[in-house]
Amino acid sequence: MRVLVSGTSSVLGHYAAEGLERHGCKVVRAARGRAFKVPDLRLDLTDEHAVRTAARGLDAALLVPILTVSAQAARWLAEEGVRRIVVFSSNNVGIDRDSPVYRALARAEEELAGVDAEVVILRPTMIYGHRGDGNLSRLVRFAKDYGFLPCPGEGRALQQPVFVLDLARTAAQAVTGPYAAGPFSIGGGDVVSTEGLFTAVLKAAGQGEGRLLRVPLSPLRTAVRIAEAAGLKLPLGTAQLARIEQDKIATEAPLYGFTPQVSLGEGLVRLIADIEAGRG
């Protein structure tokens, strides 16, 4: 099977390409810029001619950039005869229906419904596991730098973060297996409260479980808006705070046969090791 993997400049794309190669696929690695491994192809998914040209001889494609970027490319690939296309949306599509970001993703999912190809839509929960994940990496850095974590609100909302390597394995599985369109939610094996998640981060960062500072939401939201306007990076942004009291566990069925292999505790240890390696 000849498979295009677009987005191999990302950790997720790189791991997914490696997984497909181990499965025996002939992988065409594509990226716009710098990648972990020299890409076979420089590809901009918004360039119709380039995408249609890249489609020649492909059996399948895995488009790592978020669906609002990749949806049109998926249509072009299908029109050129690529039979299986795997794309990424977000589990938040089924949670935050008022957000313009997730409404746009929902529309992109709907637009692919009529495509003449097997399009598999994956909706991951919070992705973590590398120094640039923009999620738990921010919490880890804050905990290690300041020795505590602010926990917004009651901390009762449920979280189900998925380790990036587990997500990459699933993406490779979706390319090679006989799956319907979905959407499929891809979450980690551990479901914990926000308080439990923050406590796990503190413990993994070597700060002790008692260094959790409860902060009322209203003043925290104001402070974060001011900090972001000043260009400061905090462990939680305004968009995350807007959803902080909503459960963020898988809203759809998982891909058949998907079993997360990396526990939250192990994933945090790996994440911290990656962050420390980046600081060295």
Mean pLDDT of the region 227-245: 79
What are the pLDDT digits (tens) for 171-191? 999 999 887 777 999 999 999
Dihedrals phi, psi of 98, to nearest 5 degrees: -90, -15
d(CA 77, CA 61): 8
Range of the domain at 65: 2-128+162-187+248-257
CATH number of the domain bearing residue 50: 3.40.50.720
Does the residue 263 lie in any domain? no
Phi-psi region of 4 (alpha: psi -120 to 50; beta: other; left: phi over 0): beta
What are the pLDDT digits (tens) for 3-38? 999 999 999 999 999 999 999 999 999 998 777 788
Residue 252: CA count within 13 A, CB half-sphere: 21
* Chain Cα centroid distance, residue 149: 23
- Summary mean pLDDT of the chain: 92
What are the pLDDT digits (tens) for 137-161? 999 999 999 999 988 888 999 999 9
Does the residue 236 lie in any domain? no
What are the pLDDT digits (tens) for 203-226? 999 987 668 998 888 888 888 889
What are the pLDDT digits (tens) for 82-131? 999 999 999 999 998 888 999 999 999 999 988 999 999 999 999 999 99
For residues 199 and 224, the model is more confident at 199
pTM summary value: 0.91
Query: Which residues are paired to 149 by β-bridges?
Result: 212
Q: What is the enclosing helix (H) or strand (E) of 29?
A: strand 26-31
pLDDT of residue 280: 47
Q: Give how many domains the chain has, as a whole number.
A: 1
